[in-house]
Structure 1
Amino acid sequence: MIAVRGHEGRRVMVLGLGRSGLAAARALEAGGAQALCWDDGPQAQEAAQAEGLTLHDPNRADAFEGVDALIVSPGIPHLYPAPHPAIMAAMRAGVPIDNDIGLFFRSVATPDWERFDTLPRVIAITGSNGKSTTSALVHHILQSAGRRAQLAGNIGRGVLDIDPPGEGGVVVLELSSYQIELARALTPDVAVFTNLTPDHLDRHGGHGGYFAAKRRLFAEGGPDRAVIGTDEPEGLFLANQLAEGLADDRLIAVATGRRLRGPGWSIYAHKGHLVEWRKGRQAASIDLREIAGLPGTHNHQNACHAYGALRAIGMSPRVIEAGLRDFAGLPHRSQMVAQIDGVRYVNDSKATNADSAAKALQAFGKIRWIAGGLGKEGGIAALAPVTGGVAKAYLIGHSAREFGLQLGSVPYEICGTMEAAVAAAHRDAEPGETVLLAPAAASFDQFADFEARGTAFVELVRRLERGEG
């Protein structure tokens, strides 16, 4: 645990008692503060009380008297589409609002660091797509190289729940826009921006607000080095703002599908190869095409961002390449589940929107596509340009019929359930094809979350593998 510094002897309210909220409450108490806890859910309240934490109802008229700060969990809206009543009350009372990310950056460096020969590093990764895989990949390569590394934030553990990083340790943080937007302190050593596609627009008041939230990691924090994906206009704009000139190697620009050349520092993926270009010449090259854990252009982009983050802290290309080659991938993200009678079964349940599903569809050849669930605005109409490799679609969930109407000439079957879709795809699939779960929809109509949906797919494939289908 990282004990929170700066609130000793003070009363601090914690709103939202999920993973990050409970970790924040414990860390505040460990640092000498009194944590006043609240969650709108009775079960969460009971769990906090069972830990000996103090409940404090923010709806009381005097709730914020003598309160030093309000720490808010990421899922609670503070501005759009409307502020939570407790946040509105805190703002009216003039109580500063922060979150566990802000507390982490204020507390992670301790006087012990003055005795270290090699200071700990913090690598923070954000973006719309690929940030989980990039974060896990950075963490994996560090561990493969024998470096002490911890993974936290929007993936793994809560940031205040990790151990204080020792000498030479590296903390890898995946940060969502929700987490970045409220943090009062943002000081990573290396910050990574993967890409930007529309998401969470109601929470941020539109596309511009969403980008502004991501941008805070770079504008407010001022990282020593920034690794910026430049495949979208927002990334190009951000890279342009951060660089002082063409040869400013505090910026590492990343691109896929196009070469980046010039006097600065860049990394790009082109025709399946990762290329590092620095000071006007090629510094390294890695063939990504045969790395099973990183299939497709979108994963090549993830590899470039991870490579850039690790080069920024001085790791050699040879060591990074070794870690890339034995990366198995993340569950539910282009996860190779099995190969049965020459047919690959791939779980990309994390593809919850059309953009991420498009990347999955482009990563494989002839596809038996399992899609559907609780469709998002626009459905899958935007996927028409990338469905050429789909032999047939097997549609499930609430939006199955709507998706069928948007598939144009692609053959489809309304299956309804995951079990029926896997059975039908298995029945039809031929050697050399891929049965791909890439739903392009939320999971909440049939599953608790995308992990539960992916797990159901994996279990059904395992049954087929055992000959039980």
Structure 2
Amino acid sequence: MIPVQGVENQTIAVLGLGRSGRATAAALTEGGANVVVWDDGVDTRDKAAADGMTVLDLTREANWDGIAALITSPGIPHLYPKPHPVIAMAYALGVPVDNDIGLFFRSFATRDWESYDTTPRVIAITGSNGKSTTTALIHHILREAGRPTQIGGNIGTGVLSLDPAHDAEVVVLELSSYQTDLARALTPDVAVFTNLSPDHLDRHGGPGGYFAAKRRLFAEGGPDRAVIGVDEVEGRYLADQLAMAPSDDRVIRVSSGQKLERFGWSVFARKGYLSEYRKGRQVASIDLREVKGLPGEHNHQNACAAYAATRAVGIAPRQIEQAFHSFQGLPHRSQRVAEIGGVAYVNDSKATNVDAAAKALTAFQNIRWIAGGMGKDGGIEALQPFLGNVVKAYLIGHSARDFALQLGQTPHEVLETMDQAVARAAAEAQPGDTVLLAPAAASFDQYPNFEKRGEHFTALVQALPR
């Protein structure tokens, strides 16, 4: 746990008692604060009271006397589409509102660091797609290189539940727009922007607000190094805003598909090869084509971002390359779960929309595609240009028949259940094929979440005869 600094003897209110809210309350208490809590759920409040927390009705103005700050969980709206009533009351009363990310950055450094040989560092990753894989890959590279490291934020452990930093440690944080939007302190040593595509637009009042939430990590954070994906105009804009000149190597531009040779520092992937350039000269290269845990152009972009971030903290290219080959990928994200009789089985259950499914469909050859579930607006019609590698589609779930109508000439079969789809795909697959679960749909018709769907697929594959 990281005790929150600067709160001793203050009364601090915590709104929302999920994982991050409970961890925040504990870290504030450890820092000497008098903590009061509130949650909209009656059962949650009752459990908090049973656990010894002080539950205070923050919807009543009379209860705000003496409260120095309100700490809110990331999932609770603080601006759009409209502020939560408790947050609106804090605004009206002039009570500062923050979140656990802000508390982390103001509390992470301690006097113990004065005795360390190497100052701990923080790498923070944000963006729309690929940030979880990039975060996990950075953490993996550091660990394989022998650097002390922890991982947290939007993936793994909540930030205030991390351990206090050790000598030379690098903490790797995935940060969503919900987390960066409100944090009053954002001071990473290295900040990474993967890419931008429309998401959470109601929460941020449109695409401009969404990008502004991501941009705060760089504009207000002032990182020593900024790793910026420049495959979209927002990334190019951000890199331009941060750099004093094309030669400014405090900004490391990364891309999957573009050559970036004219900048002070850049990392890009083309035709399966990652290249690092400094001051117009290539200084390193890695063949990504045989890195099984990072298939496809989207993962090559993730690899470039992770390479740049770890180079920025002193990891050598050869160490990074070795770590790439031992990276197994994240569960449910282009995760290679088995190879049986020359057939690869890949779990990309996280591909719940057409954009994610399109990336998966371009990452493999000879695909036997398992798709379906609760389809989203437009179904899979937008995937027509990406079906060239599909040998046959096996359709399941609520939208199976609707998807079948949108597949055109692509061979397909409506099978409804995952059990049937895996069995049929395995029976028909030939050596060199890939059986790919990339549903392009939500899971809620048959599973509580995409994780359970991916776990079921994996279990069925593991049970196939060898």
Q: Quickly say closer, same or farther: Cα 1:225–1:464, change in 2 above 3 A.
A: same
Equivalent residue for 2:120?
A: 120
Contact 1:149 1:170 in 2 (8 A): yes
Equivalent residue runs for 1:252-291 within 5 Å: 252-291=252-291
Does the CA-based 8 Å contact 2:35-2:54 persist in structure 1? yes
Q: Deviations over 1:382-413 (max 9, x none)?
A: 22111111122222233333323332322332
Q: Distance in 2 between matches of 1:425 and 1:211?
A: 41
Equivalent residues in 2 for 1:10-409, closer than 5 Å: 10-409=10-409
- Preserved CA contact (<8 Å) 1:37 1:56: yes
Q: Choose 134-143 or 372-381, whichever is displaced more.
A: 372-381
Deviation at 1:42, TM superposition (A): 3.7
1:459 matched to 2:453? The reply is no
Note if contact 2:61-2:89 (Cα within 8 Å) is conserved in structure 1: no
1:287-339: per-residue Cα shift (whole Å, max 9, x none)? 11111111111111111100000111121111211211211111111111112
Measure how far apart 1:377 and its partner are: 3.3
Q: Secondary structure at the match of 1:276?
A: strand
The SS at the match of 1:345 is: strand
Cα contact 1:139–1:151 (8 A) shared by 2: yes
Q: What CA distance in whole angstroms lies between the structure 2 residues aligned with 1:453 and 1:12? A: 40
How far did 1:284 drift?
A: 0.3
Are the counterparts in 2 of residues 338 and 465 from structure 1 also a CA contact under 8 Å? no
Cα separation, 2, equivalents of 1:455 and 1:16: 29
Give the structure-2-normalised TM-score.
0.96
| SS of corresponding position for 1:114 | helix
Work out the percentage of aligned pairs sharing the same amino acid: 67
C-alpha separation in 1, matches of 2:292 and 2:393: 24
Amino acid corresponding to residue 252 of structure 2 in structure 1: I
Shift of 1:359: 1.0
Aligned residues: 466
Task: From the superposition, tell whether residues 280 and 438 of structure 1 become closer, same or farther in structure 2 (CA, over 3 Å).
Answer: same
> How far apart are the structure 2 equivalents of 1:465 and 1:304?
38
| 3-state SS of 1:101 partner | helix
The AA in structure 2 aligned to 1:380 is: I
Q: Distance in 1 between matches of 2:416 and 2:81?
A: 33
Secondary structure of residue in 2 paired with 1:192:
strand
Q: Could you tell me which amino acid in structure 1 is paired with residue 448 of structure 2?
A: A
Question: Which amino acid letter does the alignment assign opposite residue 70 of structure 2?
Answer: L
Output the CA distance in 2 between the equivalents of 1:259 and 1:173.
28
Gaps of 5+ in 2: none
| Distance apart, 1:351 and its partner CA | 1.2
CA drift of 1:164 comes to 0.7
- Return the alpha-carbon distance in structure 1 between the equivalents of residues 260 and 29 of structure 2: 49
d(CA) in 2 for partners of 1:204 and 1:371? Answer: 31
Give the letter aligned to residue 426 of structure 1. Answer: A
Q: CA deviation at 1:256?
A: 0.9
Instruction: Work out whether residues 194 and 228 of structure 1, in 8 Å CA contact, stay in contact via their aligned partners in 2.
Output: yes
Matched residue SS, 1:62: helix
Larger deviation: 224-233 or 70-79?
70-79
C-alpha displacement at 1:63, in angstroms?
3.2
Q: Return the alpha-carbon distance in structure 2 between the equivalents of residues 69 and 396 of structure 1.
A: 49
Query: What secondary structure is seen at the aligned counterpart in 1 of 2:62?
Result: coil
Q: TM-score, normalised by structure 1?
A: 0.96
Residue 270 of structure 1: CA displacement?
A: 1.0
Opposite residue 183 of structure 2, the aligned amino acid is A
| Displacement after TM superposition at 1:65 (Å) | 2.5
The residue that corresponds to 1:416 in the other structure is: 416
SS of the aligned residue for 1:113 comes to helix
CA contact (8 A) 1:127 1:196 kept: yes
Pair 1:149–1:435, CA change in 2 (3 A): same
User: What is the CA deviation profile of residues 417-466 of structure 1, one whole-angstrom value per residue up to 9, with x for unaligned ones?
Assistant: 22222223223322211111111222233222221111111111112246
Point out the more displaced range, 119-128 or 440-449.
440-449
**Inter-partner Cα distance in structure 2 for 1:63 and 1:423:** 60
Structure 1 gap ranges (5+): none
Q: Distance in 2 between matches of 1:46 and 1:425?
A: 49
Find the residue that maps to 2:32 and give its secondary structure: coil
The 3-state SS of whatever aligns with 2:464 is helix
Contact 2:249–2:263 at 8 Å: present in 1 too? no
Q: Deviations over 1:270-293 (max 9, x none)?
A: 111110000121110011111111
Deviating beyond 4 angstroms after TM superposition, the runs of 4 or more aligned structure 1 residues are none
Aligned to 1:318, the other structure's residue is in SS state helix
- Please state whether the residue corresponding to 1:442 is helix, strand or coil: coil
- After alignment, is 220-229 or 446-455 more displaced? 446-455
Q: In 2 relative to 1, CA 97–445 (structure 1 residues): closer, same or farther, beyond 3 Å? A: farther
Higher deviation after alignment, 212-221 or 406-415:
406-415
**Distance in 1 between residues matched to 2:405 and 2:239, nearest whole Å:** 41
Is this contact kept in 1: 2:152–2:162, CA < 8 A? yes
Displacement, 1:43? 4.0
321 and 83 in structure 1: CA distance in 2 versus 1, 3 angstrom threshold: same
Paired residue secondary structure (2:321)? helix
Following TM superposition, by how much is the alpha carbon of 1:263 offset from its aligned partner in structure 2, in angstroms?
4.2
Please tell me whether the aligned partners of residues 145 and 315 of structure 2 are also in contact (alpha carbons under 8 angstroms). no
